[in-house]
Chain A
Amino acid sequence: MQDYILRGRLLREQGRYPDAEAYFRQAIGASPDQVEAYIELALCLLPQEGRRREALEIIDRCIQLEPDHAFNHALRSLILSRLARGRDASAAADQAIGLDPDGSFNHTVKAEAMLVQEKWKDAEMAARKALALDSDNTSARNLLALALQYQGRNVEASVAVETLLADAPDSPFAHLNAGWACLRSNDHQQAEVHFRESLRLDASLDAAREGLIESFKARSWLYRLYLRYHFFMQRIQSGTRWALIIGLILAVNLGSKVLQTIHPLASTVLITAYLIFVLWVWLASGIGHFLILLDPSARLALKPKERAEGIAVGGGLLAGIACITLGILWDSPAFWLLGAGLGCGAMPASLYFTNESSNGRWIFGLFLAFLYGGGLILAVTAWISGAKVLTGRSETFITMALIGTMLCTWIGNIPTLRQEKPR
């Protein structure tokens, strides 16, 4: 039975998860009370996306068998963090720490749980505690660097990353971390170097590929502005973030009213600027993907769904603007309608293709289909009938498209419509 575990462990360490899993399951079949086999199986399932819920079930059975072993609780915490269940992960980490306060790994998983909850300061403290217990703990050093970055303490984060790179130059995670640190420092060229190195060391590391895409997008100064905004918002707590968003809306409303008394055009300029800002925040990523598509070598890094997003958001917006322009120039409602469908479609498209929530994909997908389908049908009808003005139905469609687009900016903030349902 031990033989099965040894074989499975070898295979797991080599990343041959299905083969390893078969051995661990055989070991469990042979001796259902063997804790080691459950731990190994959970460790085997953990790196496999979509199988973390199974990993959780396995570690829960393991804890039933051996409730006083700190590592089991720490592993449970890690699995919960990867399932984005930060609070539960934190509780499990606390149990592990309670059983073994001097275990560096226990504090490391606590740090990760805190990062999931966006409690950057707590994450930093936990990572520091882990490092105090074991200064060679590379995971804790990575988490510390991340926690510092999220707090906007870029100088300290850079030092942490540099030390990490000096000690572990072959660690793909160290380069991943360094890449993000560079992006935060507005150095997209160096970020690209680090992300590429991270991928060279471990080409299966998707986070590094995502980082590389961000560094490609950051070649545009406009996107770098967006990144700055994004990093700023990331630094602050969720509550403060909402207060800021609502405060901005109120300020624009108030400003608009004040400006209205001075000059109506000034108020329009303010509202337009605000709308452009809101749309840019939502569409920046999709437009970034579109820009990457224009680069023959960079576009290879994109996944099919990211390509589709780029085409639908960037291409759709561009085509929409072109159609509306033609509609104005030729006085053609058909182009107006087509432009409205394509242009407004950019918003749900930015929330559809790369959305991890199936509910979200349904909602935004249906709206996208309505905009594309409705726009096309009405445009063709208008073209055939040779109409020169918008009909009542067409006006309703455009109004619905605009309202729906604005609604997207609100409901797009609902986490369950954006994040993968924990599996």
Chain B
Amino acid sequence: MELDALRTALAASPDNVPLLLLVANACIDQFSLDEAQNYYERVIALDPRQPEARTGIAHVLNLKGRGSEAILRLEQVCQDSPRHAPAWMLRAKLILAEGNATEARSHYEQAVALDPTLADADLVTRIDQAGGRADSSRRNGGRIRPQAAGDSQAGAYYDPDDENEEEDEDFFLDSEEESDAEMEREFVQKADISFAQVGGMDRVKEDIRMKILYPMQNKDLFAAYGKKAGGGVLLYGPPGCGKTLISRATAGEIKAKFLSIGLHQILDMWIGKSEEKLHEIFALARRNAPCVLFFDEVDALAADRKDMRTSAGRTLINQFLAEMDGTSGSNDGLLVLGATNAPWHLDSAFLRPGRFDRILFVPPPDEPAREEIIRLLSEGKPTTGIDAAALARKTKDFSGADLKAVFDQSIESALTEAMKTGKIVPVTQKELLLACKQVKPSTRKWFESAKNYALYANQSGFYDDILEYLGLKK
């Protein structure tokens, strides 16, 4: 019945990619493999690089007993979409079934590094039993750690004093190209969006144009005035307001490579005390200049050294400072973007000239921006009578993420209704307005904290933008 309801829903919205994927997955659950494959292929027809559908087809092929073909397809998915963790995980399982435990472990580690929730203790046990061992080159670089939650043997294969360490190190040093490729796979993201695809944020876009894009596009002119293009820019503001998206779009605008380092990778560095890894990332970015090096949740890496309980962590912060200063290589054409929800946790040394010396406040979307986001969110979904302008008026202080939550909630209730009736139930304005009341704007709490910092710790006018936004500065 559920699958039937989904099929009916799909009939009304045949190009709805999430729905196609949902139906395809449901078909797999009922072992309707041909039908599932058909839906995945429809997704691929709409978006040839869609990783979930491509992984789904590999899954179907494997279930049909065509394991080798599935592995080949997964190799392609992993190459084209290196951050799609389920593809790595499925690849690990299939490779293990082929008897290659070492490679299986490597893929497993990659999958878990990208998405720790995929950790699978049973799989690790099977890999262990099959003789798979941790990828030592990664271990030395502190690159990807085994993170199997619930895996009591996880520690067994992570041993920094492993007897093969020296040998592994040689391997690591000798295979720079391979290492580069691996790092690219881990960090490089597509910068295939531009400002036009980012809803609202006009002021931020204008600031970025003035502070980042024009200097990079007119290097000589800036050099004539003794100014350098590139450098460091810090984006701060409440969570869910598009800091990461605007960073990607910035890279897209300057047609540069986009290296993205997230919180989990930052934590890897802390735990591994991996100054070397940080240096490698910067080196990779320099080799790929013009390049945007994006640190999400940068306060986790550039933490205030006063807060550090141990001196061990400080060396990583010092390394970050040295890399930003360009002491171990020229940072020409390298733009370091940092995004944070908690700029007050940043070590003040990072705000000095030559480091994150340009600071941009990314506020919650204003009414026209919210209207645009609402329009984007309602695209491709069965809706009726949506008045984006009215919704925008009712969602003051909502972040982009909050608006998405509003839509998710409404879609869920429409889908539940659709399941019951077996008919398409479009999302209505009424449901969205109801969801608006249930979803609390997450930015208010942030501004409560930010206001205190802006009022009492506003040295050098760092938080003037917040005061201005809150109407506390004339």
A interface residue numbers (CB < 8 A to B):
1-4, 6-7, 10-11, 13-16, 19, 26-27, 29-31, 170, 196, 199-201, 203-204, 209, 300-301
B267 CB within 8 Å of chain A:
yes
| Contact call A7/B154, Cβ cutoff below 8 A | no
| Contact call A2/B155, Cβ cutoff below 8 A | yes
B457 CB within 8 Å of chain A:
yes
- 30 residue pairs from A and B, CB less than 8 Å apart: A1-B151, A1-B152, A2-B155, A3-B145, A3-B147, A7-B270, A10-B267, A10-B271, A10-B300, A13-B307, A13-B308, A13-B309, A14-B299, A14-B300, A14-B307, A29-B149, A29-B150, A30-B149, A30-B150, A170-B306, A199-B457, A200-B456, A200-B459, A203-B452, A203-B453, A203-B455, A203-B456, A203-B457, A300-B455, A301-B455
Closest residue of A by beta carbon distance from B453: A203
- CA distance in complex: A201, B451 (Å): 14
| Contact call B150/A204, Cβ cutoff below 8 A | no
- CA distance in complex: A170, B348 (Å): 14
The majority secondary structure among interface residues of chain A is helix
Q: With A26-B149, A300-B455 known to touch, is A3 a contact of B472 (CB < 8 Å)?
A: no
Which residues of A are found within 8 Å of B300, using beta-carbon distances? 10-11, 14, 16
A167–chain B nearest beta-carbon distance, Å = 15
Closest residue of B by beta carbon distance from A205: B452
- CA distance in complex: A209, B456 (Å): 10
- CA distance in complex: A399, B452 (Å): 44
**Of B116, B146, B313, B449, which one neighbours A26 at CB under 8 angstroms?**
B116
| Contact call B149/A15, Cβ cutoff below 8 A | no
**Of B270, B449, B451, B457, which one neighbours A200 at CB under 8 angstroms?**
B457
Closest 5 CB pairs of A and B: A199-B456, A203-B452, A30-B150, A203-B453, A7-B267
Which residues of A are found within 8 Å of B263, using beta-carbon distances? 19
B303 CB within 8 Å of chain A:
yes
B344–chain A nearest beta-carbon distance, Å = 7
Which residues of A are found within 8 Å of B299, using beta-carbon distances? 14
Please count the residue pairs between chain A and chain B whose beta carbons lie under 8 angstroms apart in the complex: 75
B347–chain A nearest beta-carbon distance, Å = 11
| Contact call B457/A10, Cβ cutoff below 8 A | no
- CA distance in complex: A328, B303 (Å): 65
Closest residue of A by beta carbon distance from B345: A14
**Of B151, B271, B308, B456, which one neighbours A7 at CB under 8 angstroms?**
B271
Which residues of A are found within 8 Å of B158, using beta-carbon distances? 3
| Contact call A204/B303, Cβ cutoff below 8 A | no
- CA distance in complex: A204, B309 (Å): 20
B267–chain A nearest beta-carbon distance, Å = 5
Task: Give 1 or 0 for each of B147-186: 1 = CB within 8 Å of chain A CB.
Answer: 1011110110010000000000000000000000000000
B342 CB within 8 Å of chain A:
yes
| Contact call A209/B452, Cβ cutoff below 8 A | yes
Which residues of A are found within 8 Å of B155, using beta-carbon distances? 1-2
- CA distance in complex: A1, B158 (Å): 11
- CA distance in complex: A7, B306 (Å): 19
- CA distance in complex: A366, B74 (Å): 66
Task: Give 1 or 0 for each of B110-137: 1 = CB within 8 Å of chain A CB.
Answer: 0000001000000000000000000000
- CA distance in complex: A301, B454 (Å): 11
- CA distance in complex: A14, B449 (Å): 15
Residues 427-474 of B at the A interface (beta carbon under 8 Å):
449, 451-453, 455-457, 459, 472
A3-B147, A7-B267, A16-B300 given; name 8 further pairs at CB < 8 Å: A4-B147, A13-B308, A14-B299, A16-B342, A26-B116, A170-B306, A199-B456, A300-B455
Which residues of A are found within 8 Å of B267, using beta-carbon distances? 7, 10-11
- CA distance in complex: A273, B37 (Å): 88
A75–chain B nearest beta-carbon distance, Å = 17
**Of A7, A29, A203, which one neighbours B344 at CB under 8 angstroms?**
A203
| Contact call A15/B345, Cβ cutoff below 8 A | yes
Which residues of B are found within 8 Å of A11, using beta-carbon distances? 267, 300
Which residues of A are found within 8 Å of B271, using beta-carbon distances? 3, 6-7, 10
| Contact call B345/A3, Cβ cutoff below 8 A | no
B298–chain A nearest beta-carbon distance, Å = 12
Residues 267-319 of B at the A interface (beta carbon under 8 Å):
267, 270-271, 299-300, 303, 306-309, 313
Closest residue of A by beta carbon distance from B344: A203
Which residues of B are found within 8 Å of A196, using beta-carbon distances? 456
Which residues of A are found within 8 Å of B149, using beta-carbon distances? 1, 4, 26-27, 29-30
B468–chain A nearest beta-carbon distance, Å = 14
- CA distance in complex: A6, B268 (Å): 10
